Amino acid sequence: MEKERHVLVVFPHPDDEAFGVSGTIASYINMGTPLTYACLTLGEMGRNMGNPLFANRETLPSIRKEELKEAARVLGITDLRMLGYRDKTIEFEDSDKLANQMLELIKELNPSLVITFYPGYAVHPDHDATGAAVVKAVEKLPAEQRPKLHCVAFSNNCEDKIGDADIVHDVSASAQVKLDAIRAHRSQTQFMVEQMAEGLKQQDPEMMARLYFERFWTYTF
Protein backbone atom coordinates (compact mmCIF):
# COMPACT_ATOMS: atom_id res chain seq x y z
CA MET A 1 0.00 0.00 0.00
CA GLU A 2 1.55 3.26 -1.14
CA LYS A 3 1.93 6.29 1.08
CA GLU A 4 -0.69 8.89 0.17
CA ARG A 5 -0.94 12.62 0.81
CA HIS A 6 -4.68 12.46 1.55
CA VAL A 7 -7.33 9.85 0.74
CA LEU A 8 -10.90 10.77 -0.20
CA VAL A 9 -13.53 8.01 -0.02
CA VAL A 10 -16.89 8.70 -1.70
CA PHE A 11 -19.85 6.32 -1.38
CA PRO A 12 -23.62 6.84 -1.36
CA HIS A 13 -24.74 4.79 1.66
CA PRO A 14 -23.78 4.17 5.26
CA ASP A 15 -22.17 0.69 5.35
CA ASP A 16 -20.74 0.93 1.79
CA GLU A 17 -17.42 1.79 3.39
CA ALA A 18 -17.63 -1.02 5.92
CA PHE A 19 -18.17 -3.94 3.57
CA GLY A 20 -15.93 -2.86 0.73
CA VAL A 21 -12.99 -0.82 1.95
CA SER A 22 -12.91 -0.58 5.75
CA GLY A 23 -9.70 -2.60 5.98
CA THR A 24 -8.06 -0.26 3.49
CA ILE A 25 -9.40 2.78 5.35
CA ALA A 26 -8.08 1.48 8.67
CA SER A 27 -4.71 0.71 7.09
CA TYR A 28 -4.31 4.22 5.71
CA ILE A 29 -5.33 5.79 9.01
CA ASN A 30 -2.87 3.56 10.86
CA MET A 31 -0.18 4.87 8.50
CA GLY A 32 -1.06 8.41 9.59
CA THR A 33 -2.66 9.32 6.27
CA PRO A 34 -5.38 12.01 6.43
CA LEU A 35 -8.63 10.50 5.20
CA THR A 36 -12.04 11.99 4.44
CA TYR A 37 -15.21 9.96 3.97
CA ALA A 38 -18.00 11.68 2.01
CA CYS A 39 -21.27 9.74 2.35
CA LEU A 40 -24.02 11.04 0.10
CA THR A 41 -27.13 9.68 1.91
CA LEU A 42 -28.27 8.30 5.24
CA GLY A 43 -29.54 5.10 3.64
CA GLU A 44 -33.06 5.94 4.77
CA MET A 45 -34.59 3.53 2.25
CA GLY A 46 -32.66 0.55 3.58
CA ARG A 47 -34.64 -2.67 3.58
CA ASN A 48 -33.54 -3.95 6.99
CA MET A 49 -34.90 -2.66 10.29
CA GLY A 50 -32.74 -4.66 12.68
CA ASN A 51 -33.00 -8.27 13.78
CA PRO A 52 -35.01 -8.38 15.97
CA LEU A 53 -36.76 -5.23 14.70
CA PHE A 54 -35.80 -1.99 16.45
CA ALA A 55 -36.33 0.56 13.66
CA ASN A 56 -39.11 1.70 11.38
CA ARG A 57 -39.27 3.81 8.24
CA GLU A 58 -39.53 7.03 10.29
CA THR A 59 -36.70 6.29 12.73
CA LEU A 60 -34.30 4.59 10.31
CA PRO A 61 -32.60 7.78 9.00
CA SER A 62 -31.56 8.96 12.47
CA ILE A 63 -30.51 5.44 13.46
CA ARG A 64 -28.37 5.00 10.37
CA LYS A 65 -26.80 8.41 10.90
CA GLU A 66 -25.64 7.35 14.36
CA GLU A 67 -24.48 3.98 13.01
CA LEU A 68 -22.41 5.78 10.38
CA LYS A 69 -20.82 7.98 13.04
CA GLU A 70 -20.03 4.90 15.12
CA ALA A 71 -18.46 3.11 12.15
CA ALA A 72 -16.34 6.19 11.50
CA ARG A 73 -15.24 6.20 15.14
CA VAL A 74 -14.31 2.51 14.96
CA LEU A 75 -12.22 3.11 11.83
CA GLY A 76 -10.61 6.28 13.16
CA ILE A 77 -12.20 8.57 10.57
CA THR A 78 -12.25 12.10 11.96
CA ASP A 79 -13.41 13.89 8.79
CA LEU A 80 -16.85 12.50 7.98
CA ARG A 81 -18.93 14.47 5.49
CA MET A 82 -22.66 13.70 5.27
CA LEU A 83 -23.81 15.35 2.06
CA GLY A 84 -27.58 15.22 2.59
CA TYR A 85 -28.83 13.47 -0.52
CA ARG A 86 -31.79 11.11 -0.35
CA ASP A 87 -31.29 7.38 -0.63
CA LYS A 88 -32.22 5.80 -4.00
CA THR A 89 -32.31 9.18 -5.77
CA ILE A 90 -28.67 9.73 -6.75
CA GLU A 91 -29.28 8.49 -10.28
CA PHE A 92 -31.90 11.23 -10.71
CA GLU A 93 -29.70 14.12 -9.52
CA ASP A 94 -28.31 16.60 -12.03
CA SER A 95 -25.11 14.84 -13.04
CA ASP A 96 -23.18 18.07 -13.68
CA LYS A 97 -24.20 19.54 -10.33
CA LEU A 98 -23.17 16.37 -8.51
CA ALA A 99 -19.86 16.17 -10.38
CA ASN A 100 -19.13 19.81 -9.58
CA GLN A 101 -19.76 19.16 -5.90
CA MET A 102 -17.31 16.27 -6.04
CA LEU A 103 -14.83 18.52 -7.86
CA GLU A 104 -15.07 21.18 -5.15
CA LEU A 105 -14.41 18.54 -2.53
CA ILE A 106 -11.34 17.33 -4.43
CA LYS A 107 -10.07 20.89 -4.82
CA GLU A 108 -10.56 21.53 -1.10
CA LEU A 109 -8.81 18.38 0.10
CA ASN A 110 -6.22 17.88 -2.65
CA PRO A 111 -6.19 14.09 -2.23
CA SER A 112 -3.58 11.97 -3.95
CA LEU A 113 -6.08 9.07 -4.02
CA VAL A 114 -9.86 8.93 -4.42
CA ILE A 115 -11.81 5.72 -3.76
CA THR A 116 -15.35 5.20 -5.10
CA PHE A 117 -17.48 2.71 -7.05
CA TYR A 118 -16.68 1.73 -10.62
CA PRO A 119 -19.62 3.16 -12.60
CA GLY A 120 -21.60 0.48 -14.37
CA TYR A 121 -20.15 -2.39 -12.31
CA ALA A 122 -21.38 -1.70 -8.79
CA VAL A 123 -24.90 -3.25 -8.91
CA HIS A 124 -26.95 -0.47 -7.26
CA PRO A 125 -28.05 2.65 -9.25
CA ASP A 126 -26.85 4.92 -6.40
CA HIS A 127 -23.45 3.19 -6.51
CA ASP A 128 -23.10 3.65 -10.25
CA ALA A 129 -24.29 7.27 -10.20
CA THR A 130 -21.91 8.16 -7.39
CA GLY A 131 -18.96 6.58 -9.16
CA ALA A 132 -19.90 8.32 -12.42
CA ALA A 133 -20.00 11.71 -10.68
CA VAL A 134 -16.56 11.17 -9.14
CA VAL A 135 -15.11 10.03 -12.48
CA LYS A 136 -16.60 13.10 -14.16
CA ALA A 137 -15.16 15.36 -11.46
CA VAL A 138 -11.65 13.93 -11.73
CA GLU A 139 -11.83 14.14 -15.53
CA LYS A 140 -12.47 17.88 -15.27
CA LEU A 141 -9.00 18.37 -13.79
CA PRO A 142 -5.90 18.74 -15.95
CA ALA A 143 -4.29 15.33 -16.33
CA GLU A 144 -1.22 16.30 -14.30
CA GLN A 145 -3.43 17.39 -11.37
CA ARG A 146 -5.67 14.33 -11.19
CA PRO A 147 -5.52 12.11 -8.11
CA LYS A 148 -5.34 8.37 -8.59
CA LEU A 149 -8.82 6.87 -8.79
CA HIS A 150 -9.34 3.41 -7.31
CA CYS A 151 -12.76 1.89 -7.93
CA VAL A 152 -14.71 -0.91 -6.28
CA ALA A 153 -16.62 -3.28 -8.59
CA PHE A 154 -18.62 -6.37 -7.73
CA SER A 155 -21.18 -6.99 -10.46
CA ASN A 156 -21.24 -10.54 -11.78
CA ASN A 157 -19.76 -9.49 -15.11
CA CYS A 158 -17.16 -7.02 -13.87
CA GLU A 159 -14.09 -9.18 -14.45
CA ASP A 160 -15.31 -10.22 -17.90
CA LYS A 161 -15.79 -6.58 -18.87
CA ILE A 162 -12.98 -4.70 -17.10
CA GLY A 163 -10.49 -7.46 -16.32
CA ASP A 164 -9.05 -8.54 -13.01
CA ALA A 165 -8.56 -6.03 -10.22
CA ASP A 166 -5.09 -4.54 -10.55
CA ILE A 167 -4.88 -3.67 -6.83
CA VAL A 168 -5.50 -6.16 -4.04
CA HIS A 169 -4.89 -5.06 -0.46
CA ASP A 170 -4.19 -7.66 2.20
CA VAL A 171 -6.05 -6.13 5.15
CA SER A 172 -5.87 -9.18 7.42
CA ALA A 173 -4.15 -7.07 10.10
CA SER A 174 -7.30 -4.92 10.21
CA ALA A 175 -9.83 -7.76 9.96
CA GLN A 176 -11.22 -7.25 13.46
CA VAL A 177 -11.59 -3.52 12.91
CA LYS A 178 -13.35 -4.27 9.63
CA LEU A 179 -15.73 -6.66 11.37
CA ASP A 180 -16.40 -4.05 14.06
CA ALA A 181 -17.14 -1.43 11.39
CA ILE A 182 -19.64 -3.79 9.76
CA ARG A 183 -21.15 -4.50 13.18
CA ALA A 184 -21.59 -0.76 13.80
CA HIS A 185 -24.23 -0.68 11.04
CA ARG A 186 -26.37 -3.00 13.14
CA SER A 187 -29.75 -2.14 11.62
CA GLN A 188 -28.50 -3.56 8.32
CA THR A 189 -25.91 -6.12 9.39
CA GLN A 190 -27.07 -7.65 12.66
CA PHE A 191 -28.47 -10.68 10.86
CA MET A 192 -25.14 -11.50 9.21
CA VAL A 193 -22.29 -10.17 11.30
CA GLU A 194 -22.18 -13.00 13.82
CA GLN A 195 -22.11 -15.49 10.96
CA MET A 196 -19.16 -13.60 9.54
CA ALA A 197 -17.39 -13.58 12.89
CA GLU A 198 -17.95 -17.32 13.29
CA GLY A 199 -16.65 -17.94 9.76
CA LEU A 200 -13.51 -15.99 10.59
CA LYS A 201 -13.09 -17.91 13.86
CA GLN A 202 -13.45 -21.22 12.01
CA GLN A 203 -11.04 -20.00 9.31
CA ASP A 204 -13.58 -20.54 6.57
CA PRO A 205 -11.68 -19.86 3.31
CA GLU A 206 -14.52 -17.93 1.66
CA MET A 207 -15.08 -15.71 4.69
CA MET A 208 -11.35 -15.14 5.16
CA ALA A 209 -11.02 -14.09 1.53
CA ARG A 210 -13.96 -11.70 1.95
CA LEU A 211 -12.58 -10.09 5.10
CA TYR A 212 -8.85 -10.25 4.42
CA PHE A 213 -8.62 -8.94 0.85
CA GLU A 214 -10.04 -5.81 -0.77
CA ARG A 215 -9.95 -5.38 -4.55
CA PHE A 216 -9.74 -2.20 -6.60
CA TRP A 217 -9.57 -1.25 -10.26
CA THR A 218 -7.48 1.77 -11.24
CA TYR A 219 -9.70 3.96 -13.43
CA THR A 220 -7.93 5.14 -16.55
CA PHE A 221 -9.10 8.08 -18.63
Q: What are the tens digits of pLDDT across the range 75-131?
A: 999 999 999 999 999 999 999 999 999 999 999 999 999 999 999 999 999 999 999
CA distance 30 to 148: 20
The pTM is what? 0.96
- pLDDT confidence tier of residue 12, bands split at 50, 70 and 90: very high
Look at 149 and 195; give whichever has higher pLDDT. 149
> The domain 7-218: what is its CATH number?
3.40.50.10320
155-165 burial string, b = 16+ CB within 10 Å, else e? Answer: beebeeebeeb
Q: Which residues have C-beta within 8 Å of that of residue 176, sequence separation ≥ 6?
A: none
Q: Which residues contact 159 (CB under 8 A, 6 or more apart)?
A: 165
Provide the residue ranges of all domains of the chain, joining segments of one domain with +. Answer: 7-218
Q: Which pLDDT score is estimated for 36? A: 98
Confidence of residue 190 (pLDDT cuts 50, 70, 90): confident
